[in-house]
Amino acid sequence: MTTTTPTVTSEIPFESIVGQDRVKSKLNFLLDSYRNGGVMPHSLLIAPKGCGKTMIARELAKQMKSIAEKTRGEQKRWYEINCSTVKSVKQFFNQIIIPYVNDKDCTLIFDEASEIPRDVTMALLTILNPNNSNRTTFSYDDYTVDFDFRRQNFILATSESHKVFHALMDRLDRVELEEYNVAHLAEMIKRNVNIPIEGKLLNEIATVCRGNAREAQKKSGNIETYLCGQKKTTFDKVDWISLRRTLGILPLGLSNIELQVLRLLATRKETSLTRLSASIGMTKESLQKDVELYLQKMGLLEITTSGRAITAKGLTYLKNLEIW
């Protein structure tokens, strides 16, 4: 479990977060209610991996901490829990609830909430059961803990909402993050690189980030590493060509395996998933989850009644690869 350290919170909530305007608007509305003496609903942040749900959960917890300190004089700490490390309700109660939550002002962030064990889920159903008093009581072994939701808040985050127990979902305010576009990703890269990036190059770099904020951070780090020790005032086209050749960066950010799938499909009219799996040397499940989804999203591959086929856009992609 990660505990908090003192943080300087922006005067404008979520100012450091690019995009997500609808999400920020909703959370600011809830923060205003919390500031005026209300209760912050327990939230479930949902987004694909790398799209900023944990970052937004942390920022929400920081804002609640700041509000509690300024308006109520409370020292409201926040704690981040990776749910894959929680193995049982006994551990959950003895190592988290008793030392950090019982009779304290705090916010708990449950990251990867789809990994919450069944017995902990059942406990949370009781703890988070909505009622007019905004209070609940939960007993385990010799302990009884009173939860006051003006003092204690729960934020869950997941990329796999279908794995979260439906009754637990019903107790949470669902917040679905928006997909990042090229302009958002370009702005993230711009903020994280210390020198200007030349002309329209910023948008071109953003197109290889797969719509993913984490990838934008990685590309920013790649650029900073490339520039290390060089006395340059801008990052230009020559630099980008050099960097992408060094790192093997492909258009649209495709992986080598995704490219391999496209090239194989280009030689055949249609291919069954079983045959494709055997040709690539990956399991069918791995192909479906780790390879096909992005190719489908980008319109490069289609699923037909007979199997998998490359699209016209996919063929154009392979042709244009020669001049990349």
Element at 21 (helix H, strand E) = helix 21-35
pLDDT of residue 10: 46
Distances (CA, A) of 141 to 93, 98, 295: 10, 12, 51
- 256-323 topology per CATH: Arc Repressor Mutant, subunit A (1.10.10)
Burial class (CB in 10 A: 0-12, 13-18, 19+), 92: buried
Two tokens, residue 284: 């069918």
pLDDT of residue 3: 62
Same fold yes or no, 182-249 and 256-323:
no
Question: What SS3 state is found at 301?
Answer: strand
Beta bridge partners of 174: 44
pLDDT of residue 260: 94
Burial class (CB in 10 A: 0-12, 13-18, 19+), 64: buried
Would you give the DSSP letter of residue 271?
Answer: B
Enter the pTM of the model. Answer: 0.82
The beta-strand segments (E) located in the chain are 2-3, 43-46, 77-82, 106-111, 135-140, 143-148, 152-158, 173-176, 301-304, 307-310
Count of CB atoms situated within 10 Å of the CB of 219? 25
pLDDT of residue 86: 94
Beta bridge partners of 146: 137
pLDDT of residue 196: 93
What are the 10-residue block averages of pLDDT along the chain, 324 residues in total?
53 81 91 85 90 90 90 88 94 92 93 94 94 91 89 94 94 91 94 91 95 93 92 93 95 95 91 91 90 94 92 95 84
Beta bridge partners of 110: 81, 156
d(CA 20, CA 45): 12
Q: 182-249 is classed in which CATH architecture?
A: Orthogonal Bundle (1.10)
pLDDT of residue 262: 95
Count H helices and E strands in the chain, helices first. 14, 10
d(CA 112, CA 95): 18
Q: 2-176 is classed in which CATH architecture?
A: 3-Layer(aba) Sandwich (3.40)
Domain spans in the chain, listed from the N-terminal domain onward = 2-176, 182-249, 256-323
